[in-house]
Structure 1
Amino acid sequence: MITAGIVGGTGYTGVELLRLLAGHPQVTLEVITSRVQAGQPVSAIYPNLRGHLDLAFSEPDPAALGACDVVFFATPNGTAMEMAPGLIERGARVIDLGADFRIRDLDVWSQWYGMTHQCPELAAEAIYGLPERHREAIRGARLVANPGCYPTAVQLGLIPLLETGAVDTSNIVADAKSGASGAGRQPRQHTLLCEAGENFHAYGASGHRHLPEIRQGLMEAAGGEVGLTFVPHLVPMVRGIHATLYARLHDPATDLQALYEQRFADEPFVDVLPPGSHPETRTVRGSNMVRIAVHRPAGGDMALVLAVEDNLVKGAAGQAVQNMNLMFDLPEVMGLQGIPVLP
């Protein structure tokens, strides 16, 4: 059995991670930390886990965490980079669901996250945890940077086009929408029911902190520069991301359906839908699946890609468990085969 610890188990990502790991047949949860809720049973904060998890929150203890096989960080940005070096020295492997290790250029990271990086050596070692691109590197990693929610949907939606050089990379557009859980559990005015309900708006249009992460992944897939316009939106639902992606084809005769079916044929968590489909966020709710459909509007030269995911699962906790499975040589789908909840 794999022993696991979670640092920061009280947010939406943390509880989703708890839900998945509590049902994982090869994982024993040993430590769940929260300074605010220390001493409280997990089921008192999250009653959906009652009868499934008999643990209490505790103060972060490097010795207890370092004794685990794997430690997940579901914490605000800046926390993992302070604790990860000591845990790795003790022999634990680390999966950070935050942004501390996602961006390789630490000057760019500091620009977007407003702080100086504390452990550049580990940042250089970290493997970006998108299995569909870095599966073999993840297997041997000591530290995995779990991708962000928007970056997962956008990259998976565009990778087949970029890897094959099928599109003009100078002007790609990613128009993405997310449910309110993507903003976290801390109260914020824009996610209050009276603010978010019956409302729909863009944000971060002049620059969003996921932009450099997405661009980094797309440039890697394309093997060169990528011009990207990324605009996120908040929609009045709890969970789910819908990304609508636009790129101009070099050859309008490109068989997009075949391209995507071939690229993702062996990917357990990417579902390429039949021609003419329009994926819905409700079809992935609670699951680790990304569903993708491709179109060529009016038979023109524009590739239109639609991608949906659950931002808390494939966009966060589920992908972290997928990465853990790879790191410990378990079946990649273990603990992640639940059927999406509908309606």
Structure 2
Amino acid sequence: MQFQDVSLLSVGFVLPPEIITSEEIENRLSPVYERLRLPQGRLEGMSGIQSRRLWERGTRLSDVSARSVQLAMRAANVLPARIGALIHASVCREFLEPATACRVHHLAGLPSKAWVYDLSNACLGVMNGAVQIASLIDAGVIDAGIVVGTEDSRGLLEATIAQLLGDEELTRQSIKPAFASLTIGSGSCAWLLGRTSLFGERGASVHGAVAVAKTEFHDLCQSDTDQAGASMAPTMQTDSELLLEAGIETGAQAFDALLEELQWERASIGRTVCHQVGTAHRRRMLERLALPLERDFSTFARLGNTGSVALPTALGLGVEEGFVDGGTRIALLGIGSGLNSVMMGLTCRQIDVAKETFG
């Protein structure tokens, strides 16, 4: 699909205060490592992830999401009254009902006329939400909207460590499906999109998006039962090797579709941002897409895989750190469990960014 009058005006994101390194996680797993004779440094060596962040215990996701929303509005100098839609799109949510978006909407002081709901699609939630908001803007339904997500990895990380420590029958082979769960980090990010003809030549022009679904691979990465609330202790099983191969081919199909939809050439793309999984995924994906590594911005080494907010936050950090210049074409290369891929094409003018640490 193509958009005619949509801009990504701003990015607001919040970083958790607690940093936990891969070395610290391996130290907690030392009885398992010793029994299975696993080498220290394996986690960082295989993933490229040095650290990830955690929210303080007791932090409410909706509090953090509301702050990201406020930062995005402040960065773009857009008043709450102009927001016509709020989508909360992370994997994590506070409750099954009402929608977590409802409390975020209330805390952020958004108008009662807004469309307010949750959306979830693994690591693609925020990108899916951005596409929905862009569609509402182009259809003339709203003038501006915000998609936000907050991911909390503490429960998954601690449940995985406890499970591994308690499994006396664990082998070097059976530990593999738990590996991806040790790479997950926490974070929060909001994107504010608006009608270009109303807000002017600001932010980044959103040209269009494509989606590819390869659902025959839906069982390669699965959590346990749907849970919500502070007491949840989720676990996840991931076939990382098969997921990597299937994900790369899904991404290649989506990227070809994006080039065709937007009538772009590879050489015209100045910057890329991938989903933030790890070193092997990034290198293999960019090689398959015939895109140069030096034009890609990544954050997984310092933030881990932060789910639905990984790519959106990476875009914000890339802008803040000067990696993205005005006039640059940007390809956002999203992929998530399912398997699904959503990719978007932007041309940057000047995206406003605001960030802070929560807690």
**Fold match (TM-score > 0.5):** no
User: Structure with the greater relative contact order (CA < 8 A, sep ≥ 6): 1 or 2?
Assistant: 2
Normalising to structure 1: TM-score of the pair? Answer: 0.31
Q: Which has the higher strand share?
A: 2
